[in-house]
């Protein structure tokens, strides 16, 4: 089968022919129909992600497809089941091995491309906003990187939870995507003074930040008293220092959130969140935004779309 593999950290991955893997106890083999790309894939290539698979490894952590083989002891999901699953690697291939316990049934009406774009982006925003930031109706939510894979879902879920949403993104096209996801107010991060504009809108009660860097600092200075700042990631490449005096004076909480860490911290909360989100999708309340769908032979181009920030929402590869 074909697989898009990292052979040396920091070097470009390559498409390779590899043996079809066999599932071991507690595992299933999935015929992969779609793989959603994430910022984590770029970090995996460089060896800078929290998880570090042994070399060589196949990129891709978020997949959707059909179960085609089960290892010893696996009763669910059954062969032929339509599932989405999150792994540590293995998604950018024609088939992959994943833990059976992580497999999530997907609705019959849900395309595999939607399913592959769903778990990380919606799961991150839902758990972060509901479990960590305790976002409530009437709060003002500031979303940085609001046109990215997780940013658009934060806008969408924030509106569903009754918040007023301020979307901050770069350029008219990306702001238009955030507006279509439900944003009430738009700020261009390239040209605007984020602190001044957010303050003019009444300040932020919750900040959702997958960007880091200067935008974190600007958002912090626009926070209301008692605000909660969610640290989701550092797409800017800059981990910001946190001025503790501002936290003290304004009673602001800075909350770290790593969605994948909930696999160990609280797997039930993670799976319950995904089940609830699938129900929202089935009712037509959620609409995954996929800007680019590419075949496996163009996986390198798909990663470049992510790296160059030329995409909005998710980029999906279809083996």
Are 130 and 256 contained in the same domain? Answer: yes
Are 97 and 176 contained in the same domain? Answer: no
Dump pLDDT digits (tens) for 190-206. 999 999 999 999 999 99
pTM of the entire predicted model: 0.88
What are the beta bridge partners of residue 167? 143, 186
11 within domain boundaries: yes
Give the number of other Cβ atoms within 10 Å of residue 159's Cβ: 16
pLDDT of residue 156: 96
281 within domain boundaries: no
Over range 23-36, report the average pLDDT: 97
pLDDT-based confidence at 235, cuts 50/70/90?
confident
Parent domain of 69: 2-118+288-318
Are 184 and 112 contained in the same domain? Answer: no
46 within domain boundaries: yes
CATH number at residue 89: 3.90.180.10
Q: Residue 97: pLDDT above 90? A: yes
269 within domain boundaries: no
265 within domain boundaries: no
Are 82 and 137 contained in the same domain? Answer: no
């Amino acid at each position: 089968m074909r697989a898009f593999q990292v052979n040396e950290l920091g070097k470009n991955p390559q498409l390779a022919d590899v043996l079809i893997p066999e599932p071991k106890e507690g595992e299933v083999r999935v015929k992969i129909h779609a793989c959603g790309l994430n910022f984590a894939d770029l970090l995996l290539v460089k060896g800078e992600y929290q998880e570090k698979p042994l070399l060589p490894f196949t990129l891709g952590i978020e997949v959707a497809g059909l179960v085609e083989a089960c290892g010893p002891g696996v009763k669910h999901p059954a062969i032929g089941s339509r599932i989405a699953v999150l792994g540590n690697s293995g998604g950018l291939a024609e088939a992959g091995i994943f833990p059976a316990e992580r497999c999530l049934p997907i609705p019959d009406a849900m395309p595999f491309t939607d399913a592959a774009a769903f778990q990380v982006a919606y799961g991150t925003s839902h758990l972060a906003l509901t479990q960590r930031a305790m976002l409530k109706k009437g709060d003002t939510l500031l979303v940085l990187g609001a046109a990215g894979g997780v940013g658009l879902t934060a806008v969408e879920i924030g509106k569903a939870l009754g918040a007023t949403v301020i979307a901050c993104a770069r350029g008219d096209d990306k702001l238009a995507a955030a507006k279509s996801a439900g944003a009430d107010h738009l700020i261009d991060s390239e040209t605007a003074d984020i602190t001044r504009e957010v303050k003019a809108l009444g300040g932020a009660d919750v900040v959702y930040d997958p960007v880091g860097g200067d935008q974190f600092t600007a958002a912090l200075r626009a926070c209301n008293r008692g605000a909660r700042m969610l640290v989701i990631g550092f797409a800017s490449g800059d981990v910001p220092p946190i001025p503790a005096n501002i936290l003290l004076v304004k009673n602001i909480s800075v909350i770290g959130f790593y969605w994948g860490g909930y696999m160990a911290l609280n797997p039930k909360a993670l799976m319950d969140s995904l089940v609830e989100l699938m129900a929202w999708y089935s009712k037509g309340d959620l609409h995954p935004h996929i800007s680019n769908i590419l075949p496996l032979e163009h996986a390198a181009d798909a990663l470049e779309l992510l790296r160059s920030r030329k995409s909005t929402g998710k980029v999906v590869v279809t083996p």
